[in-house]
Structure 1
Amino acid sequence: MSETSPVQRRPSGELEASVLAALWAAEGPLSPADVQSALGGRLARTTVTTILTRLHDKGAVSRSRAGRGFAYSPIQDSAGLTARRMRSELDKQDDRGTALARFVSQLTSEDEQVLRSLLEGAEGAEGGAPEGPEAGPQPGAGP
C-alpha cells in the first residue's frame, strides 16, 4: 500500500484574488495570457480564462473585445470590491440589524472610530433637516 499525500486545495477565493491583484497592478486591460504571465505562468491559461469569466459574471471586472478574445479590467479597486462583498453578504440577511450589530461588535476600537467618523460625515453631507423622532417638531408640522 503506497502512501499518498492529500491534494492541497487553495483557500476559497485565492485564485480570484491573485487574478484581481494582477489586473489592479496593470496599466490597462489584460488578456488571459497577460494575466497568466503576470502570475508567473503558474496557472494554465484555461484556468485564468475561467476565473476571469467568473469575475466578469460577478460584476468584478469588465471586458472588451481584443482580437478573437477579450481583455479584462477591474471595475473597482480593492477597497471598493471589499465594500461590494460586504454589501452582498448583508443583502443575504433577513435580520440586517442583527448582522450589522454583530459586525460592529467585532470591530477594533480604531475601526469603530473610523466608522463613526464616516457615518457622521455622511449625515452632514446629506444636508437638510434630520428625520425621525429625534428631529423634534418641524415648522408648519401641525399643532
Structure 2
Amino acid sequence: MHGLGELEAAVMDVLWREATPLKVRDVLERLDTGRQLAYTTVMTVLDNLHRKQWVERERHGKAYVYETVMTREEAAARALRDILDTSGDPHGVLMHFVASVSDEETDILRGALRKKRRR
C-alpha cells in the first residue's frame, strides 16, 4: 500500500481481514512475513500506524486493541489521490492509467462517473 512500509502493509492486511479489533499479540500470531518477529516490533509498527492515523486504538484492560480507520478500498483510493496530487501531471497519470484498464474496469469507471454526474 502506498505510503506504508512492507511490515506496516502486512500488519494492515491482518487488521483488514479481521472483523474485530486486535491486540498486539493477536496481530503477531496472524502475521505471515516469513520471518520471526518480536512482540515489541509489532507493537512499534502498530504505534507508528496509529501515529500515521491508519489505525485507532482503545485500551482494554492493560493492553490496547487496534482497528483500521478505513477500509482497504478507501486506503487504495487515498493512495491514488496522493499519487495524483504529487505527480505534477495528474492528467497524464490518469491517461496512462485509463490506457491500462481492462474492459470490465472501463465499465466500472463509466458507471462511477455516471453516478458522480447525477449527484
Give TM-score, length-normalised by structure 1. 0.68
Q: Is the aligned partner of 1:87 residue 2:70?
A: no
Q: Is the aligned partner of 1:50 residue 2:44?
A: yes
1:51-109 CA deviation, whole Å, 9 max, x = no partner? 21222233221112334443210112221111111112112122211111111111112
**Structure 1: unaligned runs, 5 residues or longer:** 1-11, 127-143
Q: Is the aligned partner of 1:27 residue 2:30?
A: no
How much does 1:13 deviate? 4.0
Paired letter, 1:100: L
Greater Rg over alpha carbons, structure: 1
Separation of aligned partners in 2, 1:121 and 1:110:
17
Separation of aligned partners in 1, 2:19 and 2:106:
35
**Structure 2: unaligned runs, 5 residues or longer:** none
Structure 2 match to 1:111: 105
Q: Is the aligned partner of 1:59 residue 2:53?
A: yes
How much does 1:44 deviate? 1.3
Question: Contact 1:36–1:42 (CA<8 Å) still a contact in 2?
Answer: no
1:32-63 CA deviation, whole Å, 9 max, x = no partner? 12211222694211221222122223322111
Question: Contact 1:32–1:45 (CA<8 Å) still a contact in 2?
Answer: yes
Give TM-score, length-normalised by structure 2. 0.79
Separation of aligned partners in 2, 1:90 and 1:51:
27
Q: Is the aligned partner of 1:102 residue 2:96?
A: yes
Structure 2 match to 1:37: 29
Paired letter, 1:30: L
Pairwise CA RMSD of aligned residues? 2.2
The structure whose RCO (Cα within 8 Å, separation 6+) is larger is 2
How much does 1:28 deviate? 2.1
| Runs of 4+ residues over 6 Å off in structure 1 | none
